Each structure stands twice: as structure tokens, then as C-alpha cells.
Structure 1
Amino acid sequence: MVPWDTILIVALYIYIAVTIVYLLLDNRETASTLSWLLVFIFLPVLGLVVYFLVGRGMRKKTTRTLVRQDLETRLQDSHESLVTQQKDEADALHVRYPSPETRKLIRLLDRNSDSILTRHNELSVFFNGQEKFEVLFNDLMRARHYIHMEYFIWKADDLTEMVVAVLKEKAVQGVAVRVLYDAVGNYLSGRYLRRLRRAGIQIYPYYNFVSPLKIHTLNYRNHRKVVVIDGETGYLGGMNMGQEYVDGGKRFPVWRDTHIRIQGEAVAVLEEVFAVSWFNTTGETIDVKAFVPQPPPDITHIQITTSGPDSQWHSIKQVYFLLISSAENSVFIQTPYFIPDASILMALKTAALSGIDVRIMLTGMLDKRVPYWAALTYIEELLQAGVRFYYYTEGFMHAKTIVVDSLCCSVGTANMDIRSFELNYEINALIYDANVAKVFEAMFRKDLAAAREFTLEDYSRMSRLKKFRNSLARLFAPLL
């Protein structure tokens, strides 16, 4: 009779062989493959279960069950003029900003995320929650037809209750109120949801993973923060729905974030983004053709880009890469989490070594330690290349912005990390406007007064034990 220990050893070898073959057939990045292999080895059987629940790629598995964004195709019906005017707008923008990289960015967004270039937009920028939510309350009160809201976090706290009170009032007036939230980012009780639904608020967890057919989407979070009101006004940026985004909450003295309010043609793109998310969640098609407002006369060129685990391309990562690579003078980045992949790492090092002023500001007050530890291993080699790093110490830095050459900028929901690049549903606005870019740059420079610079000398003072801890955290960076 074969001893049990021999059977277990043989079973373990078979398990490792099968999992390696399965991982290789998934054709992931090498770092991601090795990270999952470590999980399989250190957590036998359990690691495989976790992988099937949260680790499998969606691009090959959801094309038949999810409606893709396909923004240009969808907008062709409701906003045909926006689609047909793209070439003229691109030509006009190229005259204003003659750099060949501008045209390259426009083409990239058109091809990798079906994003159209919009011109007639009026833009407001908010750097704290107090300003943003005051204006949002006023916009909600003026809603006549519909309110669409999509948030990663929707907290049942004082701020949200004030918003809910407005939404209830608008629902009574006949305004259609639709809300999506992320199922993992929140715990909203059935009682809470029933209370809102009885009041006329249609609220659902995005693409609810509780269904056995959707359980593999558990790791793919809807990280977007989008509001659309009557097709006239839209919001996107870093701020979720919760009191801490106004005053820092119990953990932080200040919450530093960036959000934008748009009125104009780009709102139509935000509307279609929400419509696809709503359809994938509820199966309901939203018809907004009857509510196509006149665009404002202000001319601010904006392209809205989306990415997600079911996208064909890692569009936002490609935008970040091209923005950094195209810089001629400066690149200013703000992000709470910094776990770049090899392409972004190379772009940053190359820019800095080329003499570009590359500065990155991270949060100095932490909400998660493991990503912070992993980030330090990337920071060392970037410091050696000439990139300058700062830790914002006045509160929690949650902004996700890039400003290039004081000419164009990106703002949205995507962090500078692998999770945002590959695992989350994200949305960013690329703004081709020197005046707006200078506002973002001015705020970056203002934030420097509340930040401490982290240098190579600071890194060298770190103990070997901490460096080992950081390197260990980096092994799992693709999973964070």
C-alpha cells in the first residue's frame, strides 16, 4: 500500500504543475503570474479557490455577458454631431497646441477607449469636498428629468443622508433617480436599500457579484465617481459619497482631493458611461435622447476615457504612459497609491533622465500600509533617475491628477497603480486647456508647502529589515 505521505507529495506536485499550466495559459504579465504562483504555493488549494474567485481575467470571459462602453458607436445615435465633428475639432486643437503629441493623444483615446473629442465645455475644479458638495446640492435641487449617480463608496452617514433627502424630494417630483455603488466598497444593509427604494430611489450594487455566474468578478471593483444631471451637468474625480471627503472624518484632519464639474458636450459621454453600467447591472436601457441640452459657448476640449477589466486595452495606463513620454518640460503627478508597472516605471525614469522636471506627490498619512511599503521599492530607482517625491502631511492626499508642460492635464478616478490600470472600472478626463492645466499646477505647487520631500538620503537611512519588508510587499504588488 502506498504511504499517505507519498500520495500527498505526488498530489502537491500535480497541483503545482496544473496551476502553473493554468497561469501560463492566461498569458498575464510575468510579475502577476509569479505573484499568483506564490499564493498557490503558500496557500495550497485555498490559493486556487481565491484565484478562481478573484484572479481570473475578464477580457476573455465576459464579452458575451457585458455590454462594452463603445462610446462613439452609442453616441452616434443620440449625439451624431459630436461624433462627426471630431476631425475638425482635432485639427483646430492642433493649431492651438502645435505639439505632435497632442494629435497622438487624441488618436490614442479614440482608438483605445472609443473616446470622442468634445469642445463646448465649461469646467469648474474643486480641491476639497466642502466646495464640491455645496455645488452638487444646488445642482441636484435643480434637476428636472433625471439624476444618475455612480460611486465606489456610498456611506450611510450624515453627508449622504442630506443627499438622500434631496433625492427623495426629487423622486416625489417625478425625477428619475438612479444610483450605483460598489458592492465591496460598501456594506449597505437590506433595510437601508429598501428604505431608499420605497422613496423612489433606484439603487443597486454594480454588476452584483453575489450571483454564482458573476462570482469571478469579485476582485473587479467599480472605482468610478460619476454624477449626471439632466444631461446638462456632470461630475467626476476622486471624491466618493461620504462625510470624510468633506472634513477627513475620524482618521484624518484634512481630506485633499480633486474633482471637476462639467457643463457641455462631455456630459453626453459621462451619460453613456453610466448608461452602460446601469444596463450591465439592471438590464434596463436608459433613453436620454429627449434631453439633449444646448452646449455652452465656452471652448474647453475634453476627452473622457474609461477602462475596466473587460476593456480590450489598458486605456488609462496608455494615456498616463503617453502623457509622461510626451513631456518636454514638466510632469506633476498626485496619487495616493504608487505601484507602477514596468512601462510606467520606464516612462518616468526616461523622462527624468532626459532632464524633464518630474515630481510625484503621495499621501503622507496612510490608510493602507502594504501599498505604501511596496511603493518605496519603486521610489528608490526613480530617485536615482532624478524623479522628485513628496509626501503630503497635512491630511490624506486622494487626488489623481497629472499635469504636463502646463498645457494639458488628466483628472479622474485612476490611481497610479496596477489595480487601477487592470482590475478596476475607472474613468478619467483628459483636458486640453492651458488655463485649466495651470490651475492644477498652481494647486500642486501650493500643496508642496504642506508636503515633505523624500530623498535618496531618506531612503538610505531605512533599516535592512524595513527594506526586506518593502521588497516582500512588492512581490504582491500586482494583487494589491
Structure 2
Amino acid sequence: MSDFLHTALLWLEQASAWLEAFWLAIVAPVGVGLAVWVTVHVAQHKRDARAAAAWTGLVWLVPFLGALLYLLLGVNRIQRRARQLTGGGIDTLESTESVAEDTVQAPQLRVLSRLVGRLTRLPLTAGNRVTMHEAREALHLMAQAVDEAQHSVFMATYIFGNDAAGKPLVEALTRAAARGVQVRVLLDGVGALYSLPSVTRRLRKGGVRVERFLHSVAPWRMPYMNLRNHRKLMIVDHTLGFTGGMNVRAGYVREPARTHDLHARLEGPVVAHLLRTFAADWMFTCGENLTAEYQGQQAPGTVRARGISAGPDADFDKRRLTLFAAIGSAEREIRIVTPYFVPDQTLMAALQLALLKGVKVEMVVPRKNNLRLVQWASIHALKWLVHGGAHLYLSAPPFDHSKVMTVDGHWVQLGSGNWDARSLRLNFEFDLECYDGPLAEQVNTLIDGRIAGARRMDDADFQAMAGWRNVRNALAHMLEPYL
């Protein structure tokens, strides 16, 4: 035994000496090989040349670590397993009532409607009722709808706080599950950690079936940490829907409120689009196949509407192209309310062209953002639009998390998506496009209310800005592909 140990120690000593002498000759080719592999992979799979250049530079300048970061954050491994398992059945909406695009009242928006229809492969549905609500009221309406549910409640959200906003909703979901309602709750794997302890334990204790999207406690088993499900959906009894930008957080219900937001209550055939998206995400997460057929009235209202499901999978780039088309279709005005505005160059160019065309562009962003880096980058981007004639308004606290857009007083977009790289390329988002004058008027009234309490920032304000602030904002904007 002693001879064996002696031999083993001698072998280890010799191996150590050999590695000490030749480690550079071993490590260097491995590092170069990894860098070459990443460069080839980036060139083949990255559509954005700036992102491709950034990743290529990182893996060559920071060997090994750059390759590791690319494997964790840069490789898109997502496939919509739900579509594979169902044979595409979730994408089939034969029961949905569609309407011809030529019935859209504003002629300049008919081309937009046809384009989004081809992009999403979903019909523009007629006969919907869409009502906008501030966050506090929306949370109350959602809990009330759950208490009135008879058959099913499907809910997906990014953040579900275990707090003053989340607990009443948990109690309503628990009561629904206790009376035999099919309750399914989908939380994002990262978003669920915003509230500790997580609300998942409280939900499961109440008999609610809850799953986490792209979640693993082991980082090495979690190759999707940069791809988040940011959608906010609730569908009750396959007839009533809620969607928008609102998470479930106590900041909405405290006195005074710490956050403002908008959410929509939906009735009509467009609820089928919410069902389709939730069913696909649920199948992807846990393999259970849910019925995605709308079972409500065909014409409870007059709004023409369509869901836009976007993400880094088969739905890649649908949101960015929709925004690009909507901006291009505008003839009179574009009004945008968003908490995070760091768009890519294509959307910036589209807005600049709209300004040159004589379209009035109004932007409303928070005066004080909850993400400082994003705020600095946003101000740098907005500077060029203001210089081109856009009207910029900084809304007063509390922080406004609302995400809406109107075009020419007839087209409305609302949903979970922001104007940044994360929403445009990495997140799974759900937006709703609506063609309706009265709804646009309601949303524009809400925008007017925000502008009334906001401070306008014009070209003179940017020129008076301290030099170091300009440099800080410009440096932050260089991170635009990653914000």
C-alpha cells in the first residue's frame, strides 16, 4: 500500500511539473478554440450586427469568461415545445370571429392591420369590449372575477408579490380552487424571487396549481436566465380577460401609491388570443395541454382587436416590427407612455422620419426611474428626438409603469412590452392592438392626465445640462443592446 501511495505521489509531482512547464501551450489553444467557436456561432445566429460585434469582442478580449457568459446569456435555446407537442393545435383559432381589414375606419391604418395580421398569423377580431383601469381598480376587478369564476382561472405574471396586493388575490384563487375551479398560475422563474418569501408556497398551500417559467435552483441547469416571461395575462372561464403592464405588487395599493400603472379588462373574441398564449406557455413549462377555445359572447362590444405574442422563439421580432409599422402609418400624431425608453436605431430612425413627415410625437416617461442606468440611457436617446421636434414630458412621482401608445386617435397598443432591447429581443411579451376611436379617446384622456402633472423637457433643457451628465448618459446609452 505504501508503495502504491509513493508511486501515486511521484506521478502527481511529475504531472504537476509537466503542467507548470506546458500550461500556456495547453490553455492558449483551448482559449483560441473557444473564441473561434463563439465567433462562428455568433456570426450564424445573431441578427443584430452590434450584438454580434460586442459578443465577438468580449470572447477574444476576455478568454474563457467571455465564452462562459455567452453560453449562459447569449445562446438562445428556446423552442416552443408546446407547439411541437400539440402539432400546432394551439395556433389554430377556427372559432375566432375575424373582421376584414378594410372595415378599419382610418384608411392609413388598414395597411398596418394587414401587416400585423401576416406577422402574427392571427385574425383581427371584431366585437370586443376593452376598458382601461388604473392598477388599484384593476387588481380589485381581477380578484372579483376570480371569486365569480365557475370553471377556470388562468393567470400569468412576471412579479406576484407576497404582500398587500398579492395576498387578497391569493385568497381569491384559493377560494376558487376549493370550489373546484381549474386554477393555473404561471410565474416567471426570476420574477417570482422579487418577493421573499416567494408567493408560490402560499399558493400551493391554498391548493393552487402554480408553475415557474424557466426556473432552476442550479445555475448550471439554467441556460435561460437572460430570457424572461414578462407577460401579464388572466383569463377567467374562457370568456373574460385581463392584460396590460401591471405586476401584482403592494406599491399600487399603498396610501399614497408608490407606482402607477394601467391594465385592460377584455370581453370578446380577442380573449382567445390570450388563451392561446397562456396555453402555449403552460405547455412549454409543465407539459399540460389546456383548452384554448374562447367560450364567451361573440360581440359584447365594438372594438377591433388582436393579440401580439412576442419572444425570442418563433415569435422573434414581432413586437419591434409592429412598432415600426405603426410609426410609419401615422399621419397626425403618435403618443407614447413608457417607463423604459431605450429603443434600437431602427425605431429611433422611424420616429425621426415621422417627425420629418410632420407627425406630432409626444413621449411621456417617468421623471424619476426605478432603474437609474436605464433612465440615463433613455435621456440620451430622447435628446435626439426632442432636437428633431418631439415633445418630451417627465411625469411626476410616483413612478409610472404604464405602457400604452396611440396613433392618429384611432389605434391603441397596450401590454407588457417596453421600448428597450430586453422587451424587443429577450423577453416573452404580450401586447394588444386595438382599432377604435372611443377607446383611443379614453387612452388619450389618461395620457392627458399624466401630461398635466408632468414637466416638459425641451431642447434648451438639454443644452443647459451639465457636461458630465451628458457624458454619463452617453456612456449608459452604449449599453443599449443589454438594457
State the TM-score, normalizing by the size of structure 1: 0.88
Q: Does 1:29 align with 2:48?
A: yes
For the residues of structure 2 that align with 1:284 and 1:201, how far apart are their CA atoms?
15
Distance 1:2 1:170, change over 3 A: closer
Distance 1:239 1:213, change over 3 A: same
Equivalent in the alignment of 2:397: 394
Equivalent in the alignment of 2:90: 74
For the residues of structure 2 that align with 1:322 and 1:191, how far apart are their CA atoms?
40
| Secondary structure class of the residue paired with 1:57 | coil
Distance 1:273 1:282, change over 3 A: same
Deviation at 1:452, TM superposition (A): 1.2
Could you tell me which of 249, 254, 263 is aligned with 2:267? 263
For the residues of structure 2 that align with 1:476 and 1:49, how far apart are their CA atoms?
20
Equivalent in the alignment of 2:243: 236
Deviation at 1:37, TM superposition (A): 4.0
Could you tell me which of 62, 68, 74 is aligned with 2:79? 62
Deviation at 1:268, TM superposition (A): 1.5
Counting only pairs closer than 5 Å after superposition, residues 3-152 of structure 1 correspond to structure 2 as 16-37=35-56, 39-40=58-59, 43-58=62-77, 62=79, 65=81, 67=83, 74=90, 76=92, 80-82=94-96, 85-86=97-98, 89-91=99-101, 93-94=103-104, 96-97=105-106, 99=107, 101-126=108-133, 128-152=134-158
Deviation at 1:26, TM superposition (A): 2.4
Task: Give, as a single letter, the amino acid of the residue that structure 1 aligns with 2:470.
Answer: K
Deviation at 1:477, TM superposition (A): 1.2
Deviation at 1:73, TM superposition (A): 5.6
Deviation at 1:469, TM superposition (A): 2.3
Contact 1:394 1:450 in 2 (8 A): no
Contact 1:69 1:276 in 2 (8 A): no
Deviation at 1:413, TM superposition (A): 0.6
| Secondary structure class of the residue paired with 2:439 | helix
Contact 2:416 2:430 in 1 (8 A): yes
Distance 1:7 1:281, change over 3 A: closer
Contact 2:267 2:300 in 1 (8 A): no
Deviation at 1:190, TM superposition (A): 8.4
Overall identity of the aligned pairs, in %? 28
For the residues of structure 2 that align with 1:17 and 1:464, how far apart are their CA atoms?
41
Equivalent in the alignment of 1:406: 409
| Secondary structure class of the residue paired with 2:180 | coil
Distance 1:102 1:298, change over 3 A: same
Contact 1:72 1:116 in 2 (8 A): no
The size of the alignment, in residue pairs, is 463
Deviation at 1:361, TM superposition (A): 0.9
| Secondary structure class of the residue paired with 2:186 | strand
Distance 1:156 1:342, change over 3 A: same
Equivalent in the alignment of 1:278: 282
For the residues of structure 2 that align with 1:248 and 1:371, how far apart are their CA atoms?
27
For the residues of structure 2 that align with 1:410 and 1:463, how far apart are their CA atoms?
36
Distance 1:394 1:212, change over 3 A: closer
Task: Give, as a single letter, the amino acid of the residue that structure 2 aligns with 1:255.
Answer: T
Deviation at 1:461, TM superposition (A): 2.5
Equivalent in the alignment of 2:12: none
Contact 1:184 1:221 in 2 (8 A): yes
For the residues of structure 1 that align with 2:367 and 2:444, how far apart are their CA atoms?
20
Q: Which piece of structure 1 moves more, 302-311 or 364-373?
A: 364-373
Equivalent in the alignment of 1:429: 432
For the residues of structure 2 that align with 1:415 and 1:464, how far apart are their CA atoms?
28
Counting only pairs closer than 5 Å after superposition, residues 438-477 of structure 1 correspond to structure 2 as 438-477=441-480
Distance 1:238 1:5, change over 3 A: same
The structure with more radius of gyration:
2
| Secondary structure class of the residue paired with 1:440 | helix
| Secondary structure class of the residue paired with 1:332 | strand
Contact 2:393 2:457 in 1 (8 A): yes
Contact 2:272 2:292 in 1 (8 A): no
Contact 2:101 2:124 in 1 (8 A): no
Distance 1:165 1:408, change over 3 A: same
| Secondary structure class of the residue paired with 2:115 | helix
Contact 2:184 2:210 in 1 (8 A): yes
Could you tell me which of 350, 370, 374 is aligned with 2:373? 370
| Secondary structure class of the residue paired with 1:224 | coil
Distance 1:343 1:192, change over 3 A: closer
| Structure 1 unmatched runs, 5+ | none
For the residues of structure 1 that align with 2:89 and 2:302, how far apart are their CA atoms?
24
Distance 1:174 1:367, change over 3 A: same
Task: Give, as a single letter, the amino acid of the residue that structure 2 aligns with 1:285.
Answer: N
For the residues of structure 1 that align with 2:306 and 2:238, how far apart are their CA atoms?
16
For the residues of structure 2 that align with 1:206 and 1:156, how far apart are their CA atoms?
18
Q: Does 1:293 align with 2:296?
A: yes
